[in-house]
Amino acid sequence: MFKTLLKSLFDDTSKDDKSINILFLGGSGVGKTSTLTAMYDRFNSVVDTNLDIQLLPDDVTSNRLNRKLAELKKQVALDEVRAKPTLIGTKQLEEYNFYVAKDEDSSQKLHLKFRDFPGGYLESERIKVKSFIKDSNVLVIPVDTTTLLEEGGVWSEMTNAPATLFDTLRAIKGSFEMKNRLVLFVALKSEKYLQGTDYYTNRIRDEVEREFKNLINFFKSNKLSEKVAVVLTSIQTLGDVEFSMIERDTQQNPIFIYKKRDFNSRYSPKDTEQPLKYILAFAISEYLRKRGNLNKKVSDMFDLDAQFIDAIKHFSDNYKRDHNFVILQGEKLVKYKEEENFAGN
């Protein structure tokens, strides 16, 4: 009876511990859905087949991503892709739900809920955006690498909105002091800048740190430095399609031209699983940290077992660390150090 009472008291907490709310912050046209699609598609290519885990989308998410995957493959078949920098894109709030689990019937599940709001909300619906941020455990800030690096980055504010993001986040500083968070800068469309010796430069990192200097310094402030992990990952969204040149329309606005590398180019995203690895590393670290704060009898009631957690840790622990994959702050929040305490329970 006592165990039943305790379980009822902690039921809500245990559910929260197994659900991670992930918010995309930025313009909807920057390539967030493309990134989610490539992340999901690539998971099966990189996960160890001996690990008994899958990345399972719900039916709505599956249908959306499969349609997007077909669209991305068609883009690679074209001679070129043309894009205009803009903060406007998605017309409505969208959610994408994934479950990390053995299968859909398994009791061992970690729920990843991605939320994508219309880019225009950053200007017209900041109250809503602030509410989304407060509810989130992970903030994904997509960075359009092309607009950041080309023509001195003059078009970056239109797509990446660094000043707008800084103003929005600093207005709710108190909420960042309430719980641990992961802030993930994801440099998209990086194909051109990660080839050959360019890969071993700090160009992307240097420009991200310059463009988002105020925001990164905000996270480094005394009360936030221990609560916020900040990570940069650079991904190749399509793989064989890279930035080529800029044209102008009749109003002298830029049109960014992306071309496939050769006639036989295929849809082949690279490193798109890396953001997921960091998200899962943070999620499991948070779960184990919270679990470790409870006494043994209470923590025994939580239903993520050691084998399931070890499988997720095995997948997420080997996230990339180099010039283009950098933990700028808060490494301890993405790498929990007291696994022995869990194994001994």
- Which domains does the chain carry? 19-344 (3.40.50.300)
pLDDT confidence tier of residue 3, bands split at 50, 70 and 90: very low
Question: What pLDDT score does 336 carry?
Answer: 67
Question: What pLDDT score does 340 carry?
Answer: 43
> What is the 3-class SS of the chain, one letter each residue?
CHHHHHHHHHHHHHHHHCEEEEEECCCHHHCHHHHHHHHHHHHHHHCCCCCCCEEEECHHHHHHHHHHHHHHHHHHHCCEEEECCCCCCCCCCEEEEEEEECCCCCCCEEEEEEEECCCCHHHHCHHHHHHHHHHCCEEEEEEEHHHHHHHHHCCHHHHHCHHHHHHHHHCCHHHHCCCCEEEEEEEECCHHHHCHHHHHCCHHHHHHHHHCHHHHHHHCCCCCCCCEEEEEEECECCECEEEEEEEECCCCCEEEEEEECCCCCCECCECCCHHHHHHHHHHHHHHHHHHHCCCHHHHCCCCCCHHHHHHHHHHHCCCCCECCEEEEECHHHCCCCCHHHHHHC
Angle, CA of 176, 299 and 229, to the nearest 5°: 25
Question: What pLDDT score does 75 carry?
Answer: 86
pLDDT confidence tier of residue 177, bands split at 50, 70 and 90: confident
Mean pLDDT, the chain, whole residue set: 84
Write out pLDDT tens, residues 15-31: 445 889 999 987 667 77
Tallying the residues shown for the chain, one arrives at 345
Write out pLDDT tens, residues 54-101: 999 999 999 999 999 999 998 888 888 888 776 555 567 889 999 999
Section 98-120 average pLDDT: 88
User: What radius of gyration do the chain's Cα atoms show?
Assistant: 20
Q: Is residue 269 within 8 Å of residue 222, measured between CB atoms?
A: no
Question: What pLDDT score does 303 carry?
Answer: 61
300, pLDDT greater than 50: no
Q: Name which of 41-55, 165-179, 227-241, 247-261 the model is least confident about.
A: 41-55
Q: Is residue 33 within 8 Å of residue 63, measured between CB atoms?
A: no
- Which tops the pLDDT comparison, 14 or 215? 215
Return the percentage of the chain with pLDDT > 90, whole number: 47
Write out pLDDT tens, residues 249-291: 988 889 999 999 888 888 999 999 999 999 999 999 988 887 7
Instruction: Give the pTM.
Output: 0.88
Angle, CA of 307, 312 and 318, to the nearest 5°: 125
- In terms of Cβ atoms closer than 10 Å to its own Cβ (0-12, 13-18, 19+), residue 70 is exposed
10, pLDDT greater than 70: no
120, pLDDT greater than 90: no
